Each structure stands twice: as C-alpha cells, then as structure tokens.
Structure 1
Amino acid sequence: MATLKNQTTCPYCGVGCGVNTTHDGQRIIAVSGDEDHPANQGRLCVKGSALHETTAMEGRLLKPRVDGREHSWNTTLDTLATRLEGIIAAHGPESVAMYLSGQLLTEDYYVANKLMKGFIGSAHVDTNSRLCMSSTVVGYKRAFGGDLQPCSYGDIDHAELMVLVGSNAAWNHPILYQRMVAAKNANPDIKVVLIDPRRTATADLADLHLALKPGTDALIFNAILAALAERNALDAEYIDAHTEGFDAALSAAQTSAGDLAEVARKADVPLADLEQLVDWFCTTERTLTFFSQGINQSSSGTDKVNSIINCHLATGRLGRPGMGPFSLTGQPNAMGGREVGGLANQLAAHMDFSQSAFVERVGRFWQAPNMATREGYKAVDLFEAIERGEIKAVWIMATNPLVSLPDANRVRRALEKCELVIVSECMANTDTLELADIVLPASGWSEKNGTVTNSERRISRQRGLVPPPGDAQHDWWIICELAKRMGYREAFDYASPAAIFREHARLSGFENNRTRGFDISGMAELSDLAYDSLKPIQWPVNEQAPEGTPRLFADGHFFTPNNRARLLPVTPQAPKQQPSSEYPLIVNSGRIRDQWHTMTRTGRAARLLQHHAEPFIEIHPDDARRFQVEHLQLAELQNELGRYRGRIRITDQQRPGEVFIPMHWTRQFTQTGISGSLFAPEVDPFSGQPESKQGRATLKPLHMCWEARLLVREERSIEDHWWTRVPLNHCTSYRLADTEAVENWRDWCESHLGAPSLWLDDQAHQRFRAAGIQNNRLDWILLVEPNAELPDLAWLDTCFDVEVDLDTRRQLLDAKAPGEQATGAVICSCFQVREPDIISAIIEGADSAQALGEQLKCGTNCGSCVPELKELVKVHHVEKSA
C-alpha cells in the first residue's frame, strides 16, 4: 500500500511542535519533527518521537454505551438528549455541567462552550486547564487587560538573562529547553537562573540555582522590585507613559521584602545567591522570565504571576526582542480553550461575565436563546457541587478528573453519586470511564481535525490523517448532533471544523475595535482549502497584522480601559497546606520526563515506561534516615485524605523535609499511586487553581516479605497484592509485592495463573520461578526474588513472540538469554541506551555527554537525558594518570 506524508501538530505539551507523519491512510507508520514548523524546527522529544507507537486500535473505545450496553449513535444521542432535557426541565439549566480538557481542539471547545453557555444556559463549563494555567490567565488579565502572553520563542535567541521559575523545562518542555541550551552554547555570556525547590534536570543549564523554600517565589520577586527602585534600575519613562499602580506595587514589595538578608532567610536560600540574582536582574535589560506550574499551582499563584510581571513592567522589559514574562503552557491547546471561553468565568473571544455588555454581545452574535449571565463553578467547586447534588449531570471530555483533581477520593465519591455522568473518551480504560452512565467514543490524535494554540500564541493545525476506529466520532460532531436533537439545529449545522473556525474568527473581531487583544478576524473568510493548508501563525491576525504578530505590546498599548498596564500590590502568602507534627513532610507533585498526564496514551508505548516504570517517592537522605526507609524500598505516604505508595528514591536534589511524587499513575497502572489523593482542595482565591505543589503527609516503610515480576500474554486482575502494570511490546509486565508470605508458590500459580509447565523452587535463596506454556507459546512467567533487583525484561518480552523450544525452556528459569545481556535503567529512551552501557563507556574513556552521544547516540535526539548523562560522567569518570 502506498504511503503518504503529512504535517500535523504534537498533542502533548504547550510547545506545540510540528510533526511530519508517514501513514498509509489507515495507520500512522512513523513520525519525525517538522523542520518548517517554527516551534520546534525539526526536533521532537521522546514522547513526540513515540507518537506512532500510541495509535494502535487495541485499547481504543469503539462503541457508544448507555448504562453498560452498546448502542448505535442514534440511540445513544437520542437517550442523552432525553435525559439532559429531563434534568433541565426538573432542576433548571444550571443543574448541568461540562468538564473539558486542553486536549480538545479549538473547534471542539468552541461548540461545547456555545451549546452550554448560549443555548442550554449554564456557565458550569470548566476545564483541566484550571489545574495548570488559570492563575496565569488572571495574572495577565489583571496586568494587561487580557489573557495575553507577550513573548515569542524567538525571544530566546535574543535574551541575555533567562530566569526559570517553578519550571523543569528540561523534562516538561524539552524542545524549548533545547532551544535555550542552543542559545547559551552560541553565547556563553547568557546567564541562566533556576528558581525551584528541587534540583531538577533543568539545573544542568543554570549558572545559578535558588532552591527556595516552597511558596516564597513572590517574596523573591518583591525583593527584586524593591532592589530595582533602590538601585535606580527602573524605567521611569516607561512607567509614566504606559503603566498605573506602580507606587502601590512598590510599597507592598518594600514592606514585605525588607532587606535581602531577611528575604534570604525567609526563602531559605544563600544570601550570596540571592544577591547575584538581584544584580543580574537589575543590570540585564534583555531578561526573559519563564514560569510554569511551580508558580501557577499555588493558593496564591495569581499574585506570584503578578509579582513577576511587576518587575518587567517596572523596567519596560516587554514588547521588545529577548524580554518579557513568559508563561510556559502545560497542554497543547490550553490557550486555544481560553480563546473560546473554556473556563467557567469566561465567554468566547476573550470576553467574560464581568460586563453585561460582553454577555449581550456574545449572545447577540450567537443568536443564543438562553445565554448564561453569570460565571459558573470552577473545577474544584464544580465537583463539590456534584457531591452536594446541586449538579445532576456532568459531561466530561478528554480528561481524567478522578486522577488529576485534588482530593481524588472525594471526586470519586461525587461522581458515584451523580445522577448522569457522560464521558467522551478515546481510550477504553480510564479511571473516570468506570463511573460513566453514557460513554461516547471519540477520535484521537491523527484522527481529529482542527487547530491548537501553543505557548507563544501560535495557531497550528492538527490534521485528521487516518479514520477513527470503530464507531468513534469527532467531539465537535458529537456536540453538534446532540444540539440538533435538543432543538438547536440551525446554530450547530456545521459541515466541518473549518466552518466552526471561521465563526470563531468572526466572533474574535466582532465589535472589537482594538478593545480585545485576541483578534483573528483576518482568518474569518478562510476557504476550506486555505484552512486545510493553514501554516502556523501567531495571533493577532487582522487588518493591522495580516501575517500575525510575534510579540505583543511593542507600541505600549494595553487592553485595559485606559490602555495602561497595571502593576499590582502583592503581599506574599504562605501555602495553605502546612506540615504538622502528625504530617511533617511537604509533598510536591509533577511530571516526569517520558510520561504525559494520566498515561492513557504514553502508557501504551513500552519504551516510555523504561525510564520510570512505577510510582516513586523522591526523598532527601536526612529524611530517609528519619523515617527509616531505604533506597528502592516500597513505602507509603499518608494523610487525612488518602495514601500513596511508591518506591523510595533517595537523592540530595530534594530539600530536607520535602518529597516529590509523579502525577501520572492511575488505577489502571497501579493499586495505590494517585498523587491527587494526598492534596487538599485549597485554591487560589482569584483563579480557583488548586495548590498541587504543596501537600503534607507522613511516611512509613512497607516491609515486604517478597517481590515478584509477572509477565503475562493476557492482562490479569491481581488485586490481593500491591501491584504495578507496565505494557511491553509482546506482553504485560506486573510488579508484585506483599507484606505477607505466600505459603506455597505453586498453589499461588494454580489459583492466579494456571498450572505451571516448569518451575524452580529455591527456598534457600527465597527464590521461585515458574512459567506456563501452551501449544509451545509462553503464556506467563513468574519470577519471585528476595529484593527489588529483578531480571531485565527485554529478552523475556521477546519470548512471548516466538515458539518456546527446549533450549528456551531452560533459559526461562534463568530469566535471561545466553551470554552477556545489558540490564538496568534506560537513560536514553530515544535510542534505548541503558545505564550499565553508559557507565562502561565512561570507564573506558568517554568523558562528556557529547562523547557518549558520539559513541552510543544517547542524548543526540531530544536531549532530555543529557543532564543525567553529565551526572553519570561526574560520578564515574576517573582521570587517567599520565
């Protein structure tokens, strides 16, 4: 079959990388970076490079379901319309809600928002972007008069100081991070500062790392603002011409910051390091300040954002190359969702409920019969309203709130009580899907067709290249078909995503008159052909900027009533969740390098689970001794809300008294590893964004009698032990453990797996191995070991793909192929290079990450593993004597 090549956009982080695809019209065969896309210029991270490995039909949701039974789309949508109309008739439109996702395309988002806010009449439409970007939205709106990110990726090439705050860009925005690396390599005089409690991989690039006390970010930026005034480093002309509120902001900063020694003490950073940061900031005009979830996911995240913006406004450092406050967006279309009003306090086209004129304008444009007139519940409040019974029906699209929201156990209880739970999802197994009354199979990446907007306001196309499997349909189609059944045919009779985009573009310019920064009215008349071939473009796109605009505010015009930017007085606030004698540890959560959100996609690619294959708890050596836990031992974090189990990783890159856990694991992959179960639903009072960077817990070791590795051809349910699941290429791997002994392992096999075909019972070494073979094919293999050091899986995985001959049977009980075999952690996921091979190369003379790349290829694709390669060189390289 002939192959085709097309361009599309990656569906992961907010960098918005362009992707070249090779496909045969039915499946994606290969992917590579699009050299013509300005966001990534040909590079892809390991997640993007593995996209084609996540698109198989296996594990996809294929049929609509109502109350557990499969039905046609007609029956399902008729039933959905009838049930929603019944609930609305009995309890009013505000008894219905939607919970959306930054994974949706802009066109999906637009019609969802239009249906709910304009036609059903409920503003209870929120999104998982509430969990990552909403504090930035409010911060930008307060300062600039709109949700307006002022910078461009090209500014990296012009910066002289880059400050990264609460951002592990090396792992979370790796392609953008590599651009920072390239800029510094081209100009070693560029200074890079990392402000983060943890020493993450991003610290590898930093000239200075401030491992601050969690929650003290605003204090540090207030200190910078005060120092700018003290050292005559302000831009008084810019302040006078283009801003307001400076005096109040400076007064608040001076009051809270005091002298630098006091700030250093409160933030728990060396005074010399703080003085160095202040000196660089005061003397470097071309300063870019990148910030991400370490700022946003806070009960005072909005004020932290404004403390950063204050420093840039006070120095006039925005609107010109190489400078500005730069929010690194979490999801591929978090910004696109904000453009169409995906948040509960927003309306489409960057309007909101703050002015009745906005409500009237949007309603008039839509010709909406039931326009919502007040903002709806934000995410945490939304699920609390579901638990109270106030909201009777919730439609969840492309997200997994049972995992991602704080107080995850409460979210589960809320959905269990909800009268009608509707879930649109492309995958067959998610935690949230288990509680759905009506299930709607949706198209996924490479099938969906529409647009996304990345961190630099660049609109790119995600193209539908292959057909959705089974009966899966596009989200925009599902929403519009429901709307037609509810009596709104004329308003939702779109022929394609292009038609939706044109309406979205028209609304952006409707009665705008340069009062709103978001304006793409220049694309309101795009033909279907022009839409299909649309090149990446930065908004605004209108008569003034027909080719798009790389950076905003170059002319000093802002979108406040008086066109001046606002500085805000910021009084730093401590996090709401504080440690106590009962729960003495601070818990931080975040992403890891090779996984995305709740693993519904990345968890399907075997190589993406080889860097970190199970939940873990990173802890400082002092705390490891304090809580009597050992490296790689299983342990449990626990508080009044829930518990989390993971494997201990002892590291001095963690501050004492604090632990880090990954956010990705779900009940589909482990028994007790949902990070959200430990975080209280404390939120920022302005943005409603939860405080997901500071929970609290106590820690106890789990003294396991045994640990085992189980590989099976078909997935099994083994709920009576601790377990984690990892899909491999030819089988599924489980890691098992328990605090109670198994009396007879052969009996255990009979009960859980079937009679073993061969086994080895080495009781002297607490080792048991057994395998089940049917028709000369390996069905399962169990490896019980006395500790966590279990055999490598690569060869065992291949045994499930071949007939098992006599020699292989003998080797199975050794759990390894004949001869030498590399084991150990995969450091470079792109090229599958393992730690032992890297160490061997270092010992033999490779003395740098570059040398390792030349020899083993590791670190030469996305570069995410380069910091780990450098650390291995530092630890294992020994200078040879002359």
Structure 2
Amino acid sequence: MTETFVTDSAQKTVRTTCPYCGVGCGVLARPEADGSVTIAGDPDHPANFGRLCSKGAALGETLSLRDRLLHPQIEGQEVRWDEALDFVAERFTAAIRQFGPDSVAIYGSGQLLTEDYYVANKLMKGFVGSANIDTNSRLCMASSVAGHKRAFGSDTVPGNYRDLELADLVVLVGSNLAWCHPVLHQRLMAAKAVRPDMRIVVVDPRRTVSADGADLHLPIRADGDIALFAGLLQHLATRDSGSDYAAAHTLGSQAAILAVRNWDLARVAEATGIAERDLSTFYSWFVGTENVVTVYSQGVNQSATGSDKVNAIINCHLYSGRIGRPGMGPFSVTGQPNAMGGREVGGLANMLAAHMDFTPDAIDRVGRFWGAKRMAQKPGLRAVELFDAMAAGRIKAVWIMGTNPVVSMPDADRVRDALKTCPFVVVSDMTARTDTAELAHVLLPAAPWGEKDGTVTNSERRISRQRPFLAPAGEARPDWWMITEVARRMGFAKAFPYNSPGEIFREHALLSGFENGGKRDFDISGLLAGGYETMDPTQWPVRETPTARLFAGGEFYTPDGKARLLPITPPPPITRVPGRLMLNTGRVRDHWHTMTRTGKTARLSAHFAEPFVEIHPEDARRLGIRKASLVRLARGGREAVVRALVTERQQPGNVFVPMHWTGQFASSGRVDALVAPQIDPVSGQPALKMSTVTVEPWRTALHGFFVATERPRLDMDYWAWAEAAGGVRGEFALKEEPAYWEGWIAERFGDGTDVQRLSVGDRHAGRRSFAGVRNGRLAFALFVSPDPVLVAREWVVGQLEAEKIDGIRILAGRPGADMPDRGPIVCACHGVGRNTIRAAVRGGAESLDAVGAATRAGTNCGACRSEIATLIRTETAMVD
C-alpha cells in the first residue's frame, strides 16, 4: 500500500490541476481510507475534458513518502524550522550587507505555484533590491517571451486550445505534441477524425510519433526553422498574400519582406534539407488555408536564435492576418505547469510583476504598490549568467526552489562545480536526494502537489486552482510560507503579512489592475469579485469577463498600438565538425524533468527504463555501434554512457538523448553535462538542441540485467535502475568479470542465510544466470552476458510479485510456452506489452480501435497509438 498522509476529507473528491506539462489538465483526486489516492481526469475542465496522459493517470502512484524530505536540515542534521529559517535569513542578510544585494540570488521553477513565485519575486526585486531571481522556465519558454514582446509589445499568447480543433491547417514546429503534450495532441487528432480534410504538418528533424499522425512531415535540418519561415514569408509576399489587417494594424512589413527577398524554394531547400516539392506543398497549403494555427515549443525556443525563430513564425501570421480569430494564430505551448504563471509575476530576471518591464514608470509603479524602498533598477542575471557569476565568486548565497539545475542546466558539471564553491546554498524541495540537494548547506522540506494550495496558469492563459487533498507530510511547508518567514526575519515583516495563498493571490490581482486601464495585457482584477476557493478555470485578461482570444481587432500593447514585423534573416548554417554528431535533447513520453516524481512509479519506468541515444543505422554502422550496446558520448572532457537505440527516425549525423536521467538513477546519464552553454542573445535561453558530440562504442566485458525486491548496492562500471512492481529493475555493465561471483553478488544483493541461491552458466558463451529465493518467492535474479542480455525483461520483473516461481524458468530468463509474456511495455496507462498487442493483431484485431477493444491499449491518453499502428502494420504485413 502506498504510504501517504490523508486529510480528514478522506473519500471526498477534490478538484485540482495536474503538476506536469503546460496543458494544465484538470484532475479529480479522491483520497481513500486505505491511504491510496484515486486519480481521474476532470470532465468539466476546459483544458482536458476528462482526458489524462500516462503521467497524469499515474499521479496516485507518485505520492509515497519514500525519498521525501520531511524535516529541515542544516549540514545534514535535522533542525527546528525556526533555527533553519533564522539561519537562512542571517546568511542572506550578511551577504547583502558585506557584498551588496547582487551577491544573492533565487533560482526558481515552473513547478512553483503563482503565489510562491509572487512572494519570491517581491522579496528579491522589491526588498533585497536585486533582480537576481530567475527560473528553469528560462530553459523552456524565454525565447517565446522575447518574441511575443517584440511583436505584440507584451508576452501574450493570442489564442486557446479550441483553435487547434477549429483550424483547417495545424503546423507543429519543434513540438513532439504526442509525447510532450499528449492530451492536447489527442484533442487535435479527435478533431481531425471528425474533419478528415484538416491537415497537420510536422516540422522536426526527427520522425517523432507526432509525425506519424501528420499529413506532411518536414524533416528539417537542425536550426533551419528561420529559413523555412523566411521562405514562407517570401512566398506570401510574392503571391500578394498580405492582408488588410497587416496594413492597418502592423508596422515593419516592408523591412521584413526585404530581409527574405532572396529566399526562394531552392535556397530554402538547401538551407533546411527539405525537398522542394514538400516545401512547395507546405507553402501552398498555408497560402490557401485561412484557418492556420502554428504550434511551436522547445525545438524552436531552445536555440541560439530562438527569439528570431519565434518572430519568423509570428511574421507570417501577422502579414497574412491569421491571428486573433477562431482557428488561427501562432501558439506557444509551454513545457511546465506554471511557466506562464511565473512570467505573470515577474519570475524571470528581466521582468517585473504583472507583465511589467524595467522601465522607469514600471519600477516606480511597482515600488509604490509594494511600498518598497529598495526596488531593483535593472534586470538581473539570467540562468546561465547566474551560475557563471557563481563560478566566478560573485554570488555568495543562492536559494534553489523546486528544481535540479545540476541535471537540467547546460554544461551541468560546471553548474555542479559552481554550487560546490558557493558559500551558502539553500534548496527547498520535496525530495531528500537530488543531484542538487546533495550540494546544499540547508535543505527545506517543501510541500508537493497534493499538499500545497494555489494557482497555476497553462499555455492558453487559463488560471486554475491546485487544491490540497493530503495533509502535509512530516514538517513540509509551502514555498510561499518559507519565503514569507525568511522575509520577516530579514526585517520586511510589514510587506509580508500573508497567512494564506488566497491573500497573496488577491494582492497579485490588485497589482495587475493597478494603474492599468487596459494599457497592459495582464489584468486579472476582475477575479477579485469572486471567491478564491471556488475559482473556476479562467482565461486572462479578466477585467470584467474572461477573454478567449486577443488581437482580432488589431489592438496591441505597443506604444502606438500596432504589432511589429521584424526583419529576420536566417543565420549561416551550423558548421559541421568532422567526427562529431549533432546532439538533440528532450523528453520521452512517460517521464518528467529529472524524475523526482515519475521515477517513483514502476508503470512510468517500464517504457524506457534507462537512458538511451537514438542514432541512425548509417551512423551506427560507421561507428561500430550495435543495437542495444552501450555508447559513450563526449564533449569537452564531459561524457555520458547510454544505451543505443538504432532507428531510422533519427537523421544521419544527429543523435537524440532524453534529459531525464540523473545521478540518482544512472551512473552516467546526465546528458546536459555535454551541452555547450550557448544562449540566445535576446532571450538568454540556452541552446539545448544544437551541441556537437563525439560518439563511440563503450567497451565492456559483460552486460547485466537484474531484478530485486530491494535496491542493490550500485557500484558497477555502468548502471541504471528503475522502480518495478514488487521491487526494482536495472541494467549494468562491467569492465572485468568478477573473480568470485558468489561473493560479488552477496556484497550487492545481500547474503542472508534464509536465501536459497540458484545459478546456471554457459562457459562457452560466457553467459550466467543467478537467482535468490526466500520463502518460495524471488528475492533477486541476475543475468550476465558478453553481449546485451537477451531475457524477457517484463516477465522476469513480474516474477517479483509471483506467489510461486519456477527456478528453472527464472534462470532461463523467459517463460515457457504455457505462460504469457506481455513483452516490452507499449501502453503505460494500462500496462499492455508488445507481445500482447501482436497476439491481438494475429487474432484479427487489425485496427487501433480493435486492438483497444481487445487489450485496452491506446484507449486512455493515446500517446502509444502510433507505436500500436506500427505493430499492426508489421504483423499484417507478415501475414500477407
């Protein structure tokens, strides 16, 4: 049974919001009497209408207290809250007194609630007097912020999710929507099923599962997005597709068109690697379709030219007038649940609260509203700059809230080294052990999702409530409370009177309307008339009523009220370095960020249980890399060792590695350690998708796979572990074979006298299998081989929960013909494996719906439907 702390409202359903991506799905959470929590999608929430992805559906499995940080700690020793808070306030105050306000910093997270963000921003910018507060949202959407502000005069997403369903052409650019925003993708695919004439274009170097559902995939060369949209703007201009809207409501179209005048099809094809005929098809679809939505995400933003990419997209929509009306517009989908909420309160170092900038008028306005005498006068250090300053010794104290920069930042080893040298590091988090928490002088136990209370804003500007349904575990407290208590101890008690998140939200809403009068886009003063506890999901701005879309009438937030087209010229192509491949990083379907939450559930670890690299077969052959072998990637003395996934979905010359694995889950899976700290000069966003690395086989004597009821000692040359039903599972490798296997196993898996040991070996092949049985049940099983281990992994994992085991079959690593083996997991929502789906197809289920009816696979979030479709095609082709 999952150990949780249940509120007095056990068995009462609570409406809340999912803590994962920026879709912002409504969730119904029902604590049960046995300590578990039942999770369902909220059918009344306008973001998801009851749908949940695999991660959202598994939220109830992530609420255990295992690995939770439950008490404040100073230098690893548990202390009282008063002692910890006094210590933090004293150290920050001392640093400010000796070195000035810019010697301290806060690094926050899109996992924070808006109320947390607001109080942290107020403390730093209003009362410490420094804008050195940035957030991991800088890694996510900062280029979108910059592009919006340059074009619209404000950081405004014009439309909403309904526009994807109303559009006749949807263009996904640098967005694997099917895996990164699955619920939104399913809304899109459901609309296409109703209206088959709707077209979907996917622009992505990889053939992702999103591309499988598209009418056209444009396999663009890395960093070719500006050239693609420069060509589109030129195509629009040569066909006189400018609009009356652009003439009346925009400036800069002549300069923008002049910048792209030489970008004809041939030149775009050369720059992007896309065939001219496919470019022509895309351009003609765009020109010939009124209702066009362009959805873009990290593939656009995480670039050294990300801001220009955003404006190149917006240029096309402004010039053609495709903005602000139903079914059209540029649409930025955020990666984190509250990236937009953080932007609303000034969580980025270059912003003030309520979408105000560092202008004299805004600084004065916010300072008067807060009663702040020390208002920051200029932008602070952005994320990469912040850790650079720390490495240089200029940051003397930092407070890191709810994020793991030692894993997620570019050049992550340098970030780790910077934190090691920082005189004072505070980390507030829900998890006791992260790569970043290990470097903290003070650890503060933060209340996680389910225990905290506040608001988040999703990608369509919709504010929703996160409500608690569990009592705080141990001494966990919300972030806003910690910040408020420290602010009071630093002498700012009068400005931080808060006793509840509702009080903070009220002040936030009041500031949004303060001296606004429609001059600023962000205004939620209309929400003050309603109740905080009962607030429904609402799109801002809300002056009198919520606003679904903006800019249809051509009124922008620039000084003259007109939008700006920018003259964007494509940059020179990335210089290819001989012997190196282009590294792309990103997400997988079932994991989230650095796995502090998703790593707790076996179901979400089953699809990909260890870090991997996607590599094209041509590159694999050239480099001597075999399927499922281990691969070493390196740059500048940093390295990662991951499993090879050889696939034609990847372009030659490019590799993809997920960003999720940490030093807690793998020996060498922190891929962002290999990413160069190159940033977009406008937005400060790191270029997490355009570093180059060397790639080579990682030589090893033995590969291994294990399952165990308890996590073993992990000191192998290579290892990666994951939760499994009934215990843990893992992969490992050894440079040398142990001289004495029995002793080696006893040291790592235990040598209890109550364990019966079984083993079998093939001397000629060099393969060995070992098992430990306690009271008739499996305690551990271990398989080693000179090659990647070939065993039925899901079946072996399942034996951890078996009431009775067959030792011979365990050592063989596979069931007999009379026992089912579901195979590698395809559908995480329902735990359906590849073999089960193949059997259903062979039994006559030759459509997605038929497979769903037979196995339930693909019937929840739908993110696995592309993989199921591939299995259907493969199996039916074999029959034919």
**Distance in 1 of aligned mates of 2:710 and 2:648:** 40
2:255 paired residue number: 248
Partner of 2:645: 649
Which amino acid is 1:729 matched to?
Answer: A
Is the contact made by 1:502 and 1:525 (CA closer than 8 Å) also made in structure 2?
no
Which moved further from structure 2: 62-71 or 764-773? Answer: 764-773
Could you say which residue in structure 1 is the equivalent of 2:581? 585
TM normalised by structure 1 equals: 0.96
Q: Deviations over 1:56-108 (max 9, x none)?
A: 11111101001111101011111111111111111111100000000000000
Match of 1:318 among 314, 323, 328: 323
State the partner residue of 2:843: 844
CA deviation string 1:219-271 (max 9, x = no partner): 11111111111111110x2122101111111111214x1x2112112211110
- Higher mean C-alpha displacement, 811-820 vs 342-351: 811-820
Post-superposition offset of 1:775:
6.5
Check 1:508–1:312 CA distance in 2 against 1; reply closer, same or farther (3 A cut): same
Residue in structure 2 matched with residue 443 of structure 1 by the alignment = 447
Q: How far apart are the structure 1 equivalents of 2:638 and 2:625? A: 20
C-alpha separation between the residues in 1 aligned to 2:165 and 2:829? 26
1:85–1:180 distance in 2 versus 1, CA, 3 Å: same
Measure the CA separation in 2 of the matches of 1:809 and 1:178: 44
Question: Unaligned 5+ residue runs, structure 2?
Answer: 1-7
Q: Is 1:199 matched with 2:198?
A: no
CA distance in 2, matches of 1:308, 1:716: 51
Amino acid at match of 1:844: G
Aligned partners of 2:589, 2:368: CA distance in 1, in Å?
A: 46
- Which residue identity is paired with 1:579? R
How far apart in 2 are the matches of 1:347 and 1:44? Answer: 34
Q: How do 1:253-402 residues align onto structure 2 when only pairs under 5 Å count?
A: 253-255=260-262, 257=263, 259-353=264-358, 355-402=359-406
Which stretch shifts more, 85-94 or 435-444?
A: 85-94
Equivalent-residue separation in structure 2 for 1:148 and 1:854 (angstroms): 42
The alignment-based identity, stated in percent, is 49
Query: Is 1:860 aligned with 2:859?
Result: yes
Alpha-carbon offset, residue 710 of structure 1: 2.6
**Pairwise CA distance, 1:670:** 0.3
After TM superposition, give the deviation of residue 131 of structure 1 in Å. Answer: 0.3
Distance 1:754 1:16, change over 3 A: closer
> Who is 1:874 aligned against?
873
Aligned length: 867
Q: Which residue in 2 is equivalent to 1:565? A: 563
2:13 match: secondary structure: strand
Structure 2 counterpart SS, 1:517: coil
Shift of 1:440: 0.4
1:537 is aligned to 538
1:304 partner letter: K
Q: Deviations over 1:412-463 (max 9, x none)?
A: 1100000001000001221100000000000001111000000000000000
* Contact persistence 1:123–1:377 (CA under 8 A): yes
Question: 1:781-807: CA deviations, max 9, x gaps?
Answer: 32223432443455555655577x7x6
Map Cα deviations across residues 302-337 of structure 1 (whole Å, 9 max, x no partner). 000000000000011111100000001110000000
Shift of 1:120: 1.0
Match of 1:496 in 2: 500
* 2:597 match: 601
Letter in 2 for 1:767: R
Letter of the 1:51 partner, please give it.
Answer: L
**Structure 2 length-normalised TM:** 0.96
Contact 1:298 1:575 in 2 (8 A): no
Distance in 2 between residues matched to 1:652 and 1:847, nearest whole Å: 24
Partner of 1:58 in structure 2?
66
CA distance in 2, matches of 1:283, 1:747: 72
Kindly tell me: are residues 271 and 25 of structure 1, through their superposed partners in 2, closer, same or farther at Cα, counting changes over 3 Å?
same
Do the aligned partners of 1:300 and 1:575 also contact (CA within 8 Å) in 2?
A: no
Matched, 1:636 2:641: no
- 1-structure distance, mates of 2:441, 2:878: 65
Partner residue, 1:415? 419
Q: Tell whether the 8 Å contact from 2:409 to 2:415 is kept in structure 1 after alignment.
A: yes
In 1, the alpha carbon distance for the partners of 2:625 and 2:878 equals: 35
* Cα pair 1:111 1:476 within 8 Å, conserved: yes
Q: 1-side partners of 2:871 and 2:796: how far apart?
A: 28
CA contact (8 A) 2:705 2:789 kept: no
| CA-to-aligned-CA distance 1:812-840 (integer Å, 9 cap, x gap) | 43445664231521011111111112122
Please provide the CA RMSD for this pair.
1.8
Give the Cα separation in 1 of the matches to 2:794 and 2:315.
53
Taking the aligned partners of 1:714 and 1:870, their CA distance within structure 2 comes to 37
Once the two structures are overlaid, the 10-residue window that deviates more, 416-425 or 747-756, is 747-756
**Structure 1's 579 and 641: CA in aligned 2 closer, same or farther, altered over 3 A?**
farther
Structure 1 CA distance for aligned equivalents of residues 308 and 364 of structure 2: 31
Q: Distance in 2 between matches of 1:880 and 1:750?
A: 48
Residue 809 to residue 653, structure 1, CA distance change in 2 (3 Å): closer
CA distance in 2, matches of 1:652, 1:452: 39
Deviates more, 1:693-702 or 1:136-145: 693-702
Q: 1:435 to 1:10 in 2, by over 3 A?
A: same
- Code of the residue aligned with 2:528 in structure 1: it is A
CA displacement at 1:844 relative to structure 2: 3.1
Distance 2:464 2:571 in 1: 38
Deviation at 1:352, TM superposition (A): 1.5
**Retained in 2: the 8 A contact 1:843–1:878?**
no
CA displacement, residues 317-366 of structure 1 (integer Å, 9 cap, x when unaligned): 1111000000011100000000000000000000111x111111111100
Deviation at 1:757, TM superposition (A): 3.2
Amino acid at match of 1:488: F
Which residue of structure 1 lines up, in the alignment, with residue 407 of structure 2? Answer: 403
**Aligned 8 A contact 2:32 2:38 in 1:** no
Q: Please tell me the residue identity of whatever aligns with 1:279.
A: S
